[in-house]
Amino acid sequence: MKNIISDLKSQFLKYDIDGYIIPQNDEFFSEYSNKDRLKKISNFTGSAGYAVILKNRNYLFVDSRYTIQAQLESGKKFKILNYEDIFNCKIFKNLVIGIDPNLFTSIQIKKIFTYNKIKLIKENLIDNIIKFKNKNPKPFYSLEKKIVGEGHKNKLYKIIKYLKKNNLDYIFITAPENVAWLLNIRGVDNPNSPIPNCHLLIDKKNNLYLICEKKKAKKIIVEKKISEKQVIEFGNFEKLIKDLKGNKMIIDYKTCSLFFETVLRKKFKILKK
């Protein structure tokens, strides 16, 4: 069995970093994910935590629910610390810590990295080592109106009304559960709940852009809930933003990743809610 920690540390020189941080969440900020990088690096199976891998020491930050569990699962290779201690942590003071900007929000960055520098690394260093199984993507599906209680067009109308009232050009909805509610769709991208891994961009003129794998949108395209042109692959997100017109964008500060926020700030004035 390969030593994942050693393989991770072997990349530090290439990226000129002193350490790397692995959160429990994935790119969609799901508590449980089919791509559990934290478990792979630490063997920790809890639902919340951060692993901080430095050149000469490994730390695992978990809350009080998991103290004993973390010690049993990860104590041989990690020093177990309280979850709250990662905020303003002096253990890695003045060090350059690498992160995947898709896995953190700007709010998290401000809280965690007070005493050291961060380096945004475009590729995920765990993914460079481990090839997660890319299961055949199953399409999103719609729920009937009698089940959800309110049609998606009426929900969209409320969003657009809010945008116009507050003089906003766009809203970028990053949390998959919010997209699920708004469009009355579900998916099978999460091991424990019917979450559709996607994001949604809406403008004040009722134009929609669903950011997801196109294969997953095929059913809702057939239903004419959204057109094929409105489905944007993740890799084309930056081009989409570049081509948009307008000035103001509202985002969810809890689930809009640092990557997305950085892309949006190049073009828009951002309002966080």
CA 249 to chain centre: 19
Tokens 């997801």, residue located: 212
91-109 pLDDT, tens digit per residue, is 888 899 999 999 999 998 8
- Measured distance CA(260)–CA(46) in Å, rounded: 27
115-133 pLDDT, tens digit per residue, is 678 899 999 999 999 988 7
Three-state DSSP at 92 gives coil
182-208 pLDDT, tens digit per residue, is 999 999 998 888 999 999 999 999 999
Q: Is the Cα dihedral 170, 171, 173, 178 positive or negative?
A: negative
Burial (CB < 10 A; 0-12, 13-18, 19+), residue 64, is exposed
Q: Are 262 and 253 in contact (CB under 8 A)?
A: no
DSSP single-letter state for residue 144: P
Among 68, 59, 33, which residue's Cα sits nearest to residue 47? 33
Q: Say which amino acid occupies 195.
A: I
- Measured distance CA(29)–CA(177) in Å, rounded: 10
pTM of the model: 0.92
- Measured distance CA(220)–CA(14) in Å, rounded: 43
Q: Which is more confident, 257 or 111?
A: 257
